[in-house]
Structure 1
Amino acid sequence: MMGGITHCRFLKAPVTKLEAKSPKSAVWTITAVVTLTTDLGETFYEDNATLEAILYRNGPGSAETAVLSKTVDWTFPMRALKVVLQVDAAKCNPKHQYFLRVGEKDRKAVQDVWGQYMMVQGRTSVLPIWSLPFRLGQKTKELFVERRLQIRDDRVLKVVEETGESIARHIWDAGLSASLVLASLDNERSNLASPELRKAIRACLNRDHVNILELGAGCGTFGITFATLFENCLVTLTDLGLAKEIADLNLKANSLGDRAKFVELDWTEPLPEHYKTSFGLVIMTDCTYNSAYFEPLVGVIDAVLNNNNRLLMAYKRRHEDEKEFFELMEAKGLEVTCRTKVAIEGDTETAQHADLASLRSNRGLFPWTSTPPKPRSLTKRHRSIASAHCTGRIHISFLLPCSQKVAQLPTTASGAFNDTAPTKLVHFKPVPYCTVR
């Protein structure tokens, strides 16, 4: 069984060709290649599925109209499926735009609605894909495709993603799940979020203006959902320059104007000073998959969080190394205040989950300084512990595993931190929580 949402993905976006069927008639042939896979594309759909390809027409000033549809079968162990449709050229208008949508047959009514694409009748549902608009006979934009997700009765979110292999330019499971929770925030009958998490999110949004920072935005799904649903939110999407093009396309597709923007941000570079005081809410999704970036990411989070804001993060548990991320967070005085689980596959007994958590800084309890010394002779696991210090006595709160070595930070006789003395590793007895003073 696949671990998460099943994504229908274009490997090749639609290509059109005019072909003569007889001396007096011709047809337009529309060809595309799709696959069924996970968000990271590491496994393919391990079952059979009946898909439906639907060609839509959109004339100037008119709504989208279905022109024709065709059923195609995905058979395990397929990795790619070719889709071919033909339409009578005499019935086509070169001024019209066309879209190709591929999803599971007989699920059109529910597939584009949040909450239904994940669990339908106790089994995995395929998240459908839309092509970008194209005209017959003209070269299509093969690089990009689109998801259309109705987050509320009157709001449809459009998420452009790439057809290629760059994971930074695709939508991911936790981002979708987090947006689902956000869209259900005002639905009191929804049980997607715990009451505590719902209250925490509402408290952050209960202001005239809320400046939101999204870290590792990628396509920007979560941040754009905030800006789409809540007009008092001003969202800054940040990521490496690789994500700028796809993020800008999504900002334009959702007509957000000046309520959302993309800014390039590298976690390994010095953080601009204004980031440390500008944001009432920090958000991120699917950022804990690569342990190589845990330390710089936690450093950025530590810099932008204060006693007046929160971090709202969503992640899908993919490997054991993710525990290190939360150890680093806790060593920085950043604590999880509430969390919820969102099922993203299968029935309630076997479902995969995405975790959505709210975190805040507890540094108001301790006089942390802003320029920790460089730790010496420490393993990677302990560097963040050694970097937390204060000008008086040292206060570090963290979860302590059995017989775990913990950094003992050297101090002078007056209790001040001594940056010239060597750092030592000492053993503490196994207790649930430990405070080093």
Structure 2
Amino acid sequence: MHYVRLLRPPTVEQGRSHRQLKISLTITTDLGDAYLFSQEPIELAVVGAYQNAEGRLVPVNLTQNASPRWRAGMRALKFDLQLPRNPISTIQIRPANRQLTALATSDVYPVGQSNGLVMGVYVDLPSSEGMPSQVCFRSLRLTGASQDPAAAVNALQVEEDFGDSIARHIWDGGVVTLSLVADLCLASPVPVRHNPMPLLSNILCGQRRELNILELGCGVGIVGIGFLRILKASSYGVSPKILMTDLSEAEERAQANISRCLADSQSSEGGRADVEFESLDWQDGKVGLFGEKVQSQPWDLLLVSECTYNTDTLLALVQTLSAIHAHSVQKTGGSHTTKIFLATKPRHSSEREAFDMFAEEGWRVEEQTVVPLPVLNSNAQSVEMYLLSKS
């Protein structure tokens, strides 16, 4: 996939007759290591919104008269737009062609003919020439492929930093993971096609009323928060408790996204989103040193998305997972089994070392699947998913 990324916050300047919006962006991969190379120029749409007298959001196409275009060989694109008199609060920047755009999880999985290739970006605008927004965000509707679009869960919003570095951004593995899980739990009627992960489906959508989920290496929080929104919206009556963990430097953005999720769930779904964050360094975790929240209960499912790319931390990760399993067993007097749901977009062959380490720790793969990644003018890519258990 590719992502529209703002290189810096958009600014608003007052001209003689109208206000101008100045935008600087790029379109790159999740790691920012390759720019979109399209044989045909891709027109971009910038869509704003303002509130009318009735309080309803009214969309405005700011590029209706002249669309900026991303061309092959570009590394950045800068352009100015004239703003209407009505105050625009938020803008969305995406390909003008809907068939190129990832707006919902059903655009990403199952892989269609063309959808899900580029994910747009959103940003709030200053009301005047004041301080620009310090964050942008992604928005993804959570829906099963066979679900009526009108019944989709309110869009999941996840804040990111500006710029094209890999820090504090969503990654391909997280987007594809959520798309598959949404299809497993939200599709209605149940799809007749083969279920790629029936054991995982049974954990998430079975008869269990409470499900304790712990995520390691959560980053900005798209996977953990997305799981919570999907499971609470499913028709299976699952009541999830989700704890997201990462190093302390990830806490600010993860907490901001938890707050955004809480606001969304309270206003639109009438319930409290049960999701929290706690710092966890795998160097501590591998020897069983956990925070109060990790220690508070046994865990049914451990989420690990896009954490195996760094071989220097693989052993600590695997040993931390084993220590959490041991904690859960001890907490329940030996009657508990913790499973791992691992998703990764393989980036180099050395990542396979993780599975040797899992085997040495007594973990075994119960089921697995490979999901093709939507790509535009690029080599084929995929996300691998595994469910692991330990005796």
Q: Could you tell me which residue of structure 2 aligns to residue 194 of structure 1? A: 196
- Residue 55 (1) aligns with residue 48 (2): yes
Q: Could you tell me which residue of structure 2 aligns to residue 329 of structure 1? A: 358
- Whichever residue aligns with residue 253 of structure 2, its letter is I
Q: Which runs of 4+ in 1 moved over 6 A?
A: none
Residue 258 of structure 1, CA deviation: 5.4
Aligned partner of 1:72 among 64, 68, 71: 68
Residue 207 of structure 1, CA deviation: 2.2
Residues 64-105 of structure 1, C-alpha deviations (whole Å, 9 max, x = no match): 3222321111111101111321024xx234xxx511211111
Long gaps (5+) in structure 1: 21-25, 363-437
Residue 213 of structure 1, CA deviation: 0.5
Long gaps (5+) in structure 2: 144-151, 233-238, 266-271, 330-335
Q: Could you tell me which residue of structure 2 aligns to residue 19 of structure 1? A: 15
Whole-Å Cα distance in 2 between the matches of residues 181 and 244 of structure 1? 26
RMSD between aligned residues:
2.6
Aligned partner of 2:343 among 311, 314, 318: 314
Task: Call closer, same or farther: CA 1:138–1:191 in 2, change over 3 Å.
Answer: farther
Whole-Å Cα distance in 1 between the matches of residues 280 and 352 of structure 2? 25
- Please give the secondary structure, in 2, of the residue aligned with 1:268: helix
Whole-Å Cα distance in 1 between the matches of residues 37 and 99 of structure 2? 22
- Residue 351 (1) aligns with residue 380 (2): yes
Is 1:197–1:357's contact at 8 Å kept on the other side of the alignment? no
Whole-Å Cα distance in 1 between the matches of residues 120 and 349 of structure 2? 31
- Please give the secondary structure, in 1, of the residue aligned with 2:92: strand
Q: Could you tell me which residue of structure 2 aligns to residue 155 of structure 1? A: 154
Return the TM-score normalized by structure 2.
0.81
Q: Could you tell me which residue of structure 2 aligns to residue 92 of structure 1? A: 86
Is 1:14–1:100's contact at 8 Å kept on the other side of the alignment? no
Return the TM-score normalized by structure 1.
0.73
- Please give the secondary structure, in 1, of the residue aligned with 2:298: coil
Residue 136 of structure 1, CA deviation: 2.9
Q: Could you tell me which residue of structure 2 aligns to residue 107 of structure 1? A: 98
Task: Call closer, same or farther: CA 1:178–1:201 in 2, change over 3 Å.
Answer: farther
Is 2:220–2:257's contact at 8 Å kept on the other side of the alignment? yes
Q: Could you tell me which residue of structure 2 aligns to residue 369 of structure 1? A: none
Is 1:57–1:65's contact at 8 Å kept on the other side of the alignment? yes
Question: Which is greater in Rg?
Answer: 1
Whole-Å Cα distance in 2 between the matches of residues 248 and 215 of structure 1? 15
Q: Could you tell me which residue of structure 2 aligns to residue 402 of structure 1? A: none
Residues 170-210 of structure 1, C-alpha deviations (whole Å, 9 max, x = no match): 0000000110011111322275851434444336x642221
- Residue 131 (1) aligns with residue 123 (2): yes
Aligned partner of 1:116 among 104, 107, 114: 107
Is 2:372–2:383's contact at 8 Å kept on the other side of the alignment? yes
- Please give the secondary structure, in 1, of the residue aligned with 2:8: strand
Whole-Å Cα distance in 1 between the matches of residues 316 and 197 of structure 2? 32
Is 2:346–2:383's contact at 8 Å kept on the other side of the alignment? yes
Residues 35-60 of structure 1, C-alpha deviations (whole Å, 9 max, x = no match): 11110101111224221122222468
If each structure's helix is expressed as a fraction of its own residues, which one has the higher value? 2
- Please give the secondary structure, in 2, of the residue aligned with 1:171: coil
Report which structure shows greater RCO (CA 8 Å, sep ≥6): 2
Whole-Å Cα distance in 2 between the matches of residues 190 and 160 of structure 1? 35
- Please give the secondary structure, in 2, of the residue aligned with 1:304: helix
Task: Call closer, same or farther: CA 1:35–1:238 in 2, change over 3 Å.
Answer: same
| Greater mean deviation of Cα atoms: 240-249 or 49-58 | 49-58
- Residue 260 (1) aligns with residue 275 (2): yes
Whole-Å Cα distance in 1 between the matches of residues 12 and 387 of structure 2? 48
Q: How many residues align?
A: 345
- Please give the secondary structure, in 1, of the residue aligned with 2:80: strand
Is 2:5–2:163's contact at 8 Å kept on the other side of the alignment? no
- Please give the secondary structure, in 1, of the residue aligned with 2:348: coil
Task: Call closer, same or farther: CA 1:222–1:332 in 2, change over 3 Å.
Answer: same
- Please give the secondary structure, in 1, of the residue aligned with 2:282: coil
Task: Call closer, same or farther: CA 1:341–1:192 in 2, change over 3 Å.
Answer: farther
Whole-Å Cα distance in 2 between the matches of residues 123 and 154 of structure 1? 19
Q: Could you tell me which residue of structure 1 aligns to residue 169 of structure 2? A: 170
- Whichever residue aligns with residue 150 of structure 1, its letter is R
- Please give the secondary structure, in 2, of the residue aligned with 1:185: helix
If each structure's strand is expressed as a fraction of its own residues, which one has the higher value? 1
- Whichever residue aligns with residue 80 of structure 1, its letter is A
Residue 264 of structure 1, CA deviation: 0.8
Is 1:9–1:36's contact at 8 Å kept on the other side of the alignment? yes
Is 2:107–2:115's contact at 8 Å kept on the other side of the alignment? no
Is 2:92–2:123's contact at 8 Å kept on the other side of the alignment? yes
